Structure 1
Amino acid sequence: MGTVGVAGGGSTKVANPGKATILALGKAFPHQLVMQDYLVDGYFRDTNCDDPVLKQKLTRLCKTTTVKTRYVVMSEEILKKYPELAVEGLPTVKQRLDICNDAVTRMAVEASQACLKNWGRSPSDITHLVYVSSSEARLPGGDLYLAKGLGLSPETQRVMLYFVGCSGGVAGLRVAKDIAENNPGSRVLLATSETTIIGFKPPSAERPYDLVGVALFGDGAGAMIIGSDPVLGYEKPLFELHTAIQQFLPNTEKTIDGRLTEEGISFKLARELPQIIEDNIEGFCKKLMEVDGFPDKEYNKMFWAVHPGGPAILNRMEKRLDLSPEKLNASRRALMDYGNASSNTIVYVLEYMIEESLKMKKENQGDDDEWGLILAFGPGISFEGVLARNLTG
């Protein structure tokens, strides 16, 4: 597995006293890189399926998702060891969890190590751990195995968010913000880790919606360090987390439906999901912004770090909020390079956001957008949002 991280760079903006800030980012991936152009043939070969109608449907979906590359834990070695994963209807949850529990811990440790390296301080300075995953299930949970893998103190206070799906990264950020601001001097490690093996299945005409996931989702891990009152000279704040809120939309429980069964996780994503998000996104953003009296509808004067659930969601948001095309650049790049990696993806979006801010500063292309929104949507349907300041530009 390889690890990648982003350093903070210089910071000319100063964080407000007592407000939580993101102090470092890091990410990690499994070694298997999948090119979208070759995915269809490989998937149908691995699952011994030759249904031309399903193959044509997946080929079409692979183009519409805009994904170019993804990382996955699944490999020829795994399928040789567990051939039952590619057979319809076999009880395989034990086998899946044997693979997933190990893989997500390994990726979470590597992403956290990359993050700690960028932070520049000792793991012993971590006081709290927030761990997010929808790809494992065990007691004790992955939070303990991650703490052990990093050599954290046994007194590190842990919080675990399981099965919150795509909104998990921003939900974890909201929880970490609360911890950091209510425990002066604390440093919170937020780690997310996901693998699609928990839901890998052969194609089936009875489950055409499965092909959307095959064309869209990827694996990996992400990590952030969150704390208030950065130590000057030692820490370089990246984003200030000003306000965070969560909201669920009543009577949408079936729109994103996930079930853990004997055959792993089964997902159903309703067709109306992008429309529901489009119909509710402006009201949610207004609620998030009005907490601090932020000017209404000045959307193009803000940055947008949006979890890229899929291109339809990004397109609908762009249209509803009348955003300039470049506003969702970081989200579209993350989707193209990593697919929808569930809770991890917001880390990749924020990295691209920093990269673009520093590039603008270097090229003297005027002021970047200091204020913006960090957003994600998950089962519930739950909206997660943070009103934030970019401190890197």
Structure 2
Amino acid sequence: MSKMERNGAPKHDVALARRPPMPGKATILAMGKAFPSQLIPQECLVEGYFRDTKCQDLAIKEKLERLCKTTTVKTRYTVMSKEILEKYPELATEGSPTIKQRLEIANPAVLQMAMEASLACIEEWGRPVGDITHIVYVSSSEIRLPGGDLYLASQLGLRSDVGRIMLYFLGCYGGVTGLRVAKDIAENNPGSRVLLTTSETTILGFRPPSKARPYDLVGAALFGDGAAAVIVGTDPIPGKECPFMELNHAVQQFLPGTHNVIDGRLSEEGINFKLGRDLPAKIEENIEEFCKKLMEKAGLVEFNDLFWAVHPGGPAILNRLESTLKLRSEKLECSRRALMDYGNVSSNTIFYVMEYMREELKRKGGEEWGLALAFGPGITFEGILIRSL
């Protein structure tokens, strides 16, 4: 297994927030992230992918080259390596039943990344691990009993009575779902501190390219691996904790009749995905009403008066959102930057966006209110009205 690269958010001095948090409202107190050590520049992906899968189809190769350009991704991290393919050559063989082998790789890989991200987050937080009262673990990349939540809690040295919640197979909206769950826990358990960790790898979906499965090429051009962690709690302790974002109000909504637009199935070969071409259009048709539902909680009416932390599922979704809401181009800059630097890392990506947003707001100041948004299977919308502190 490749050694994971710990890449936590920079250490911040404990200081008073610019804006005090509202009493009893959940806040984000620290962040961390981690990645596999293997970084792949997008311009090197096609040759490596076709070499590893032994595909000779030039038409498929040309299509992947076009997709790699349109995704806007520049770099991605990946667990998959030459060493893994040498040990498990059947992963590159069409039709091979390899779910056992994939889980042998994925289960420890996501745990290792989750550990690194959690440790980086706890280090930034600056308090003992024994002060963590709850853990929320999110992953669409591992399958086992007990789940990664127990392994993570044990390896971090958390208390044996820590409250654990495991969120499996939510896909791209899982990070915001985890934030909503952590928010509810923190606000209903005064004094609690919730560690939310997400970890994802594309191992379960890796396979040789095929004309019969065009979405595999989209996945190869777009998705990456990594982990992220945040600590959530209410009423931060002055002098000990530095909140930087308040989770003010959360909403989840599914779009009736769209459950087949994003379709993922677990088989003997791993996870097979089908992505409907109408996904960006479905989001475009419903996003304005969804955002207004969140904004009305703070009496907000103008989209450009907010900052935007949007999960970058792909450039088409970001472009549709920007056009529909008539957002100024800079409003989605943090989302585009996260997509460019990491690709779509499923549930984790929203935290990479939020980290860029944190630094942007700290450097330039700016809007008090913003929205954190993610979209995934269902079609499910997850949104949180957030407040910069």
**TM-score scaled by length of structure 1:** 0.96
The alignment status of 1:299 with 2:303, answered yes or no, reads yes
SS of residue paired to 1:60: helix
The 2-side partners of 1:190 and 1:358 are apart by 23
Alignment of 1:66-77 (within 5 A): 66-77=72-83
SS of residue paired to 1:5: coil
Amino acid at match of 2:146: P
The 1-side partners of 2:211 and 2:205 are apart by 17
Partner of 1:5 in structure 2?
8
The alignment status of 1:197 with 2:200, answered yes or no, reads no
Amino acid at match of 2:309: A
The alignment status of 1:26 with 2:32, answered yes or no, reads yes
The 1-side partners of 2:113 and 2:5 are apart by 9
SS of residue paired to 1:265: strand
Alignment of 1:191-230 (within 5 A): 191-230=197-236
Partner of 1:369 in structure 2?
367
The structure 1 segments of at least 4 consecutive aligned residues displaced by more than 4 Å after TM superposition are none
The 1-side partners of 2:320 and 2:388 are apart by 25
Alignment of 1:93-112 (within 5 A): 93-112=99-118
The 1-side partners of 2:35 and 2:96 are apart by 28
The 2-side partners of 1:141 and 1:332 are apart by 32
Partner of 1:138 in structure 2?
144
The 2-side partners of 1:339 and 1:156 are apart by 33
The 2-side partners of 1:373 and 1:293 are apart by 12
**1:316 paired residue among 317, 320, 323:** 320
Amino acid at match of 1:294: G
Partner of 1:339 in structure 2?
343
Partner of 2:378 in structure 1?
380
Structure 1 stretch displaced more, 166-175 or 2-11: 2-11
**2:240 paired residue among 234, 238, 242:** 234
Partner of 2:90 in structure 1?
84
**1:187 paired residue among 193, 196, 215:** 193
Task: Give 1:267 shift.
Answer: 0.6
Task: Give 1:295 shift.
Answer: 2.5
Aligned residues of 1:8 and 1:237 also touching (Cα < 8 A): no
Task: Give 1:5 shift.
Answer: 2.1
**TM-score scaled by length of structure 2:** 0.97
The 2-side partners of 1:293 and 1:152 are apart by 37
- Give deviations 1:145-196, integer Å, cap 9, x for gaps: 1111111111000001000000000000000000000000000000000000
Amino acid at match of 2:342: Y
Task: Give 1:293 shift.
Answer: 4.6
Amino acid at match of 1:112: S
Task: Give 1:355 shift.
Answer: 1.2
The 2-side partners of 1:222 and 1:293 are apart by 28
The 1-side partners of 2:300 and 2:228 are apart by 32
For structure 2, the 5+ residue unaligned runs are none
Task: Give 1:294 shift.
Answer: 1.8
The alignment status of 1:358 with 2:362, answered yes or no, reads yes
The 1-side partners of 2:384 and 2:351 are apart by 14
Q: How much is the aligned-residue C-alpha RMSD, in angstroms?
A: 0.8
Alignment of 1:250-265 (within 5 A): 250-265=256-271
The 2-side partners of 1:4 and 1:95 are apart by 28
The 2-side partners of 1:32 and 1:58 are apart by 21
The count of residues paired between Structure 1 and Structure 2 equals: 383
Task: Give 1:289 shift.
Answer: 1.6
Task: Give 1:8 shift.
Answer: 4.5
Amino acid at match of 1:25: M
Partner of 1:125 in structure 2?
131
SS of residue paired to 2:141: coil
The 2-side partners of 1:122 and 1:86 are apart by 44
